[in-house]
């Protein structure tokens, strides 16, 4: 049993990562390296030092993490909230999150996960899925070449895992598409993703507007951005993306 996890943040009182008031636990390490990553401090699988010499990432035991998240149980109960696992990519620390989620479900706490979809499906289905109430599933690029170019990995397993979850999961699986100008928000990409989702019978999808705040985090790590957009998605760009997506449906 893995008794420790490497995290980079625990965010209490969140209302953005699922229903109700939640605590979001950010696991460090990700199999992708998206050039626009909103949490670049969560990509590396090891502890790092920022430009000020401050450690990025901390180890925590299962017992300590459970103690910390259970403190807000009254808020979860009163608001219909719970715990969301985010990152990075939580499934990279699969043995730990198995025991973490199992304990939360034994307590009757609502659980959710935010995932990039690049995981071993058999293990996820056996060890993680039975202890989840909600899955947020990122779909970024439909074209495999573009996925390799902008995320550092093929999307083959990601798309296959999504299709299997839609068929086999008995809980909501909500796809989320980040709208990254010039990369994921193109008419071709959004149209192809929309067709893919329609074939799966999926009706609920979240389009996530681009946020450039990640750039400051990357600078603090002493790293150079591979994507240079430094402004938020404009209303016109957002409307155009929505049009591209729903036109294809």
Q: What backbone torsions phi and psi does residue 239 show, to the nearest 5 degrees?
A: -65, -40
Domains (range + CATH), the chain: 8-177+212-228 (3.20.20.70)
Q: With contact defined as beta carbons under 8 Å apart, do 183 and 235 qualify?
A: no
Copy the structure tokens of residue 237.
Answer: 């760009």
pLDDT, residue 1, reads 55
Is the model's pTM score more than 0.95? yes
pLDDT, residue 203, reads 82
Average pLDDT, the chain: 96
| pLDDT (mean) for 174-187 | 98
What SS3 state is found at 205? coil
Q: With contact defined as beta carbons under 8 Å apart, do 13 and 75 qualify?
A: yes
d(CA 45, CA 31): 9
pLDDT at 71 over 80: yes
Q: With contact defined as beta carbons under 8 Å apart, do 223 and 50 qualify?
A: no
pLDDT tens-digit map of 74-110: 999 999 999 999 999 999 999 999 999 999 999 999 9
pLDDT tens-digit map of 215-234: 999 999 999 999 999 999 99
Number of H helices and number of E strands within the chain? 9, 10
Tokens 């989840």: give the residue: 132
d(CA 136, CA 174): 5
| pLDDT (mean) for 227-243 | 96
What SS3 state is found at 105? helix
**Count of all residues that appear for the chain in the document:** 249
């Amino acid at each position: 049993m893995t008794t420790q996890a490497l995290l980079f943040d625990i965010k209490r009182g969140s209302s953005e990562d699922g229903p109700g008031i939640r605590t979001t636990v950010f696991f460090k390490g990700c199999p992708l390296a998206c050039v626009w990553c909103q949490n670049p401090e969560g990509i590396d699988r090891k502890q790092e030092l920022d430009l000020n010499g401050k450690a990025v990432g901390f180890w925590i035991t299962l017992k300590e993490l459970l103690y910390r998240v259970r403190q807000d149980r009254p808020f979860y109960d009163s608001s219909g909230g719970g715990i969301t696992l985010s990152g990075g990519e939580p499934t990279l620390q699969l043995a730990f999150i198995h025991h973490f989620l199992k304990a939360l479900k034994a307590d009757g706490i609502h659980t959710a996960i935010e995932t990039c979809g690049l995981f071993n499906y058999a293990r996820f289905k056996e060890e993680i899925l039975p202890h989840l109430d909600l899955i947020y599933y990122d779909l970024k690029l439909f074209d495999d070449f573009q996925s390799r170019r902008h995320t550092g990995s093929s999307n083959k397993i990601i798309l296959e895992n999504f299709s299997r979850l839609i068929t086999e999961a008995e809980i909501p699986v909500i796809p989320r598409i980040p709208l990254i100008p010039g990369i994921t928000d193109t008419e071709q990409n959004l149209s192809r993703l929309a067709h893919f989702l329609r074939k799966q019978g999926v009706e609920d999808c979240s389009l996530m507007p681009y946020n450039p705040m990640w750039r400051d985090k990357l600078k603090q790590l002493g790293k150079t951005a591979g994507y240079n957009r430094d402004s938020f998605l404009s209303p016109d760009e957002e409307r155009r993306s929505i049009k591209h997506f729903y036109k294809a449906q």
